[in-house]
Structures are given as C-alpha cells and as structure tokens.
Amino acid sequence: MLTATAFAALNPAPPLDLRFPNYEPQTPLLPGNLSDSPNTFIDNALHGRIVPLDHLDPANVLGDASAPARAWQAAAWRNERVHAQFVVWSSVEITQLRLAASPLRAPNGAEIPASALNARFVRYVWASFARPRLHIPGRAVADILDTATELDLPASGFRPIWLTVNVPENTPPGVYRGALTVTGQGRRSVQFPLSLEVLPATLPAPNRWAFFLDLWQHPWAAARYHNVTPFSPEHYALLEPLYRELANAGQKVITTTITDRPWNQQTFDAYGSMVKRTRHANGSWSFDYTLFDTYVAFAQRCGLGPQIHCYTMVPWGNRFQYNDSATGDSVVAELKAGTPEYEAYWAPFLADFQKHLAEKGLLEQTHIALDERSPEELRASVAVLKKHAPCLKIAMAGNKSPSAYAGVTIDNYSNVISHVEDNNAAFFSEIAPRRAAGAVTTFYVCTTPTRPNTFTNSPGAESVWLGFYAAAHHFDGLLRWAYAHWPREPLWDSSFRPDTWPPGDTFLVYPGPRSSVRWELLRDGIEEFEKIRLLRQAAAAPVLTELEAALAAFTYNKAIKQTDNELAETVARARAAVESATRATNFCPSE
C-alpha cells in the first residue's frame, strides 16, 4: 500500500492564481529609512500593529513605529457596527496572507460568534485628481474593503486589515475577548488581541433610524459595469446586495427618473427614463409605467424608501424625449420651464402620473425632484406641477435657505454645506419649524467642498464628521449625489474625469458589492447621530450639556480651517463624549 506522503511537493509552490480582481495598483512600500528601524522591520517575520480608522499610506502607516501595539480595545452599543484597523508588514515577501477571527467571549461564557466578525483585506485603488489649483498627485489609496480571502504581501509592502464586529442585539453587556490572526505561507503569523465592551444601550435596526439618508442610486452604472441588459433579471440580481447594503445604512429615498438624462451626462453612464411617453397622432399622450413600478417595488423589497424622488421636471439641458406613435420615432424637444410649450408637454403627464401613483398607493411619498436649479426654474416648474398634480411633493438640492425660494414649499430640501452657515447660519433656524410642518431638511456634500468630504483621498475622520455635524445642528440628515455611479473601472481607478471630479466623488461602495473605508466611516457617523438622538431623549441634563459642548465644535467654518489632525481630534472628542454620556445614562429597555 502506498503511503499518502509518497510524493514531493514543489517548494516554493508557484501558486495557481485564480483570485479576482487580479489587478491592483502596486502595493505601496514602507518608508525607505527602515534600515534604521527596530529589527521588527528587517527580520523575515510577519509583523503587525493597530492603526487608526483612516486611509493608510506610507506617511501614516507606521505611527509610533518604535512601540507597535497590537491590542484592540473598544466599547460599542448592541446593534452597532464597530471597526478596528490593523496593518501587517514584513521585510520579505510573504505569500498567501489569510485572516481568521475567533469568537469573542465574556468571562461568564457569553459569546459574540465568529460569524459576527468580518475581517477584510483593504485593497488599494488609484485616486487621481488633476484639478490644477489643488495639486493633488495621483496615488494608490487603501480604500476597498475587499472580498479576497487570500493576498500576497510583497517585500517591504504593508497591507491594512479592517475588522468589523456586528454586535448582535441580544448580546448581554460585558467585556468580550478574542483574537484576529493573520497568517502567511510557511506558518508566519501575527495575532491581534481583541477586547470589546458591550454597553447596556441598543441602537435600533437601520430601518428604524431617524437619520434621513439620501444617496442617489444609478442602476444603469451597475448594468454597464456588469455587462448586463438594464432591468433584466440578471441586473436585478446584481443590484440587490448593493441596495440591501444601502438600506442597512437607513436610506430613505428611492431615486427614480421620469425623463431621459435628467443630468444630461455628468457621469460615466447616462440615466434613462423609467417612464416611456408616447404622443399620438391626435395630440393625446399615453405613458408606460411598467419599468417605474417594477423598479420601485424592487427597491422597496430591498428596504429602500419610503420616499420616492422623481428626476426631474427641469433636466440639465432642457431636452425631453418621447415616442411619436404616428411614425414610431423617438423625438426630442427642447423646452424651458415657464413657457407655454413646457406646460403643454408636462400637463398630460402630471395628471396621469398623480392618478397612477394614487392607484398604486404611492402618492403620499412621491416627490418631483430638482437638482441645483434656479429659483426661477423652480417656481416655473412648480407652478405647472401644482396646477396639474397638486398632491405631488417637491424635493430640491440648492445653495440657499428654503425661505429664499419664496412662494414654494419645498417638502424635502437639501442645502450644500458650503452655504449652510451663510448669514450667521440663519438657515439653522428654519430646520425645526419645517420639521414641525412635516418637511425634511438636510445638507449635502458633493464635488465640493474639498473638506470635509468622502473622497477616496479624504481623511477618514471627515466621513464620521458629517454625522456629528448633522446631530450638532439638528438636521434631519444628509444627501450625497452618488452611492454607486461607478466610473469605468472603479476597482482599479476611483477617479472620474480627474480634471473636474475629486477621486471617489461618484461612488461610496465598490462593485461586489465591496465596502470601503469611506462607506463604513460615513455609516459610523450616522450611528453616532442615532446614539445622540437617543441620548437627547434619555440622558440627564448635565450629561447632555457636556455632550452638546463637544458637538458645538462641529461647524463648517471651523472644519475648513482645521488640519487633518485637528479635525480627527474633534471627531475623537465627540466620540468620547457620546461614550461617556452613554455610560452615564440609564436607557429604558428597548421594545
């Protein structure tokens, strides 16, 4: 009988590499002065340390390199996603890096199971930004929280590792311990001790969050990226995990279209219309809502909503396409809001659409949405809207206070952050009365401002800052124009038209879907918003005073003048204030 050991393995083993994606910018290397560093940098072992929740690069990766710490210690609410970041490095190449997180256990035997821990490699993506005045050179940024289960580490390379603990809602309060182990080929490994204190406070599930999150969706981008027919069964199968992750951050809006190219083409992919319009020889119209209805029902199944925003009555470019039933041709008309021709085009649709929405039970939550249109265009289009579909609501993103659009009630209004504090922040005083009247008020970041923002090259603290800012000024929430408006190859280069758009501006999550440092930290700030909301209901006055003091540091005018470190410290102090207030508060048991 032959023994099973009777054959020789090739050594070293050339890997049969089937990993996907197999492209990545060259892994950045540790700073060049390592020959002067402690021997942890020049021996052949795998080393590691804990690092801040930020985009790692050669400048910030080693921190205090002489005293590398590996232990993670944190506190979290039940239902919170809590994160840690580590980095591993070696002076030699180490292939087949793999991650293994143990369950976390309390002394009394209670357990957070391994399935609640998610350890992911952070992969690099290009961030190119050629806008001349800003002089930001292209570089590889560690932003993608990847799905790869195995990666190679080149000699002197470093690889960040992102650990997420999804604290189960039923976890008894207490301290839970375990470890994350990173192992490379040839039994070289490094272990990170984990200690998580679960506090006696519970976040609601995301579908019960108050934070009004509005990240626009762009289904055509996923169809193009994945080479599938838009709205085919395969397309919906690809959209579903992407939308479920968005719902898991509390998204409150389904982005829909009622005209082709509402933004003309400001993204890699154009938007089509979810409603087809046909004009008949006798001048009458008919409208096909099949796609609109199917898409809305799908988005609702994924957990998005309740609001439905319809782009738009004033598209960028003022061009409107419809089908001429007499010829079968598609025809384009150019129509400006305020003209009789514009009303003639919109009136039949609006009356019919309102009727259709009422039949579907969707009327109450549906808004006609405008993006950055002038007060005149807003007034002219709303006049037509209110004449022919008076029950439809209005949503707009703009750069003034809502009161500046006199004569129009904007049911859902978002102000760009760089104008929020104009006129001694008079805008803030409009938020509470609007809420009392049932209107939603948010702020937004987009291609501007340079900071705080959620670009690939934004320091991580800026993403968290946005949630604290919303809490500090009692906003309903945040709008950002692009959840997954992917450029050509988002896993390779996060930039779209780098002479105009900052890198990563057009999306927050990567195909897969793969999460990102930016996405998790934006969501983290939303969790802090929710905690503050619950603390404001439950905490004693002196506790709240301290918390509000920490929040007072969040103004846009301060943030734009802060250094990276100062902004990160502002966020850290607010985090600490929330944790401290949590420890000082007795919450009623959740339902």
Smallest distance, Å, CB 223 to a copy of itself? 7
Cα-Cα-Cα-Cα torsion 253, 259, 265, 269, nearest 10 degrees, comes to: 70
Phi/psi of residue 242, nearest 5 degrees: -65, -45
Reference 267, options 440, 44, 488, 574; nearest CA is: 488
Q: Which is nearer to a copy of itself, 84 or 148 (CB)?
A: 148
Q: How far is the CB of 335 from a copy of itself (least distance, A)?
A: 6
CB of 142 to a copy of itself, least distance (A): 21
- Those residues whose C-beta lies under 8 Å from the C-beta of residue 157, and which sit 6 or more positions away, are 27, 28, 29, 30, 89, 90
Q: Closer to a copy of itself at the Cβ: 44 or 403?
A: 44
Distance in Å, CB of 344 to a copy of itself, minimum: 4
C-beta of residue 201 within 8 angstroms of C-beta of residue 582 = yes
Cα distances from 444 to residues 45, 266, 372, 449, 469, in angstroms, run: 46, 18, 12, 10, 11
Q: Which is nearer to a copy of itself, 18 or 588 (CB)?
A: 18
Smallest gap, in angstroms, from Cβ of residue 291 to a copy of itself? Answer: 12
Beta bridge partners of 158: 89
Q: How many CB atoms lie within 10 A of CB 536?
A: 14
> 24, 133, 53, 12: which is closest to 517 by C-alpha?
53
Nearer to a copy of itself, 36 or 329 (CB): 329
Sign of CA dihedral 264, 266, 268, 272: negative
Minimum distance of a copy of itself from residue 279's CB (angstroms): 7
Query: Closest Cα to residue 284, out of 228, 349, 368?
Result: 349
Retrieve residue 364's tokens.
């109450």
Strand partners, 493: 126
Query: Whats the size of the chain, residue-wise?
Result: 591
Beta carbon of residue 39, minimum distance to a copy of itself (angstroms, whole number): 24
| Element of type H or E holding 428 | helix 428-436
Whether residue 312 is preceded by a cis peptide bond, meaning omega within 30 degrees of 0, is: yes
Please tell me the distance from the alpha carbon of residue 482 to that of residue 508, in angstroms, as a whole number. Answer: 7
Nearer residue to a copy of itself within complex by CB, 224 or 497: 224
Nearer to a copy of itself by C-beta: 285 or 428? 285
Please state the closest distance from residue 517 (CB atom) to a copy of itself, in A: 21
Rank residues 205 and 351 by Cβ distance to a copy of itself and give the closer one. 351
CB of 388 to a copy of itself, least distance (A): 11
Between 261 and 531, whose beta carbon lies closer to a copy of itself? 261
- State which residue, 63 or 512, has the beta carbon closest to a copy of itself: 512
To a copy of itself, the closest distance from the beta carbon of 390 in angstroms equals 17
CA–CA dist 421, 382 (Å, integer): 27
CA distance 426 to 266: 32
Q: Which of 151, 180, 173, 169 lies closest to 84, judged by CA? A: 180
Residues 270 and 321: beta-carbon distance below 8 Å: no
Binding site for a copy of itself (CB under 8 A): 2-10, 13-18, 20-21, 96, 98, 147, 150, 183, 185-187, 220, 223-230, 233-234, 237-238, 241, 260-261, 270, 272, 279, 283-285, 319, 321, 324, 327-335, 340-345, 347-348, 511-512
Query: Of 18 and 134, which CB lies nearer to a copy of itself in the complex structure?
Result: 18
Minimum Å gap between C-beta 406 and a copy of itself is 26
Six-digit token string for 519:
């996405």
- Compute the distance between CA of residue 71 and CA of residue 559 in angstroms, rounded to an integer: 31
Toward a copy of itself, which CB reaches closer, 9 or 134?
A: 9
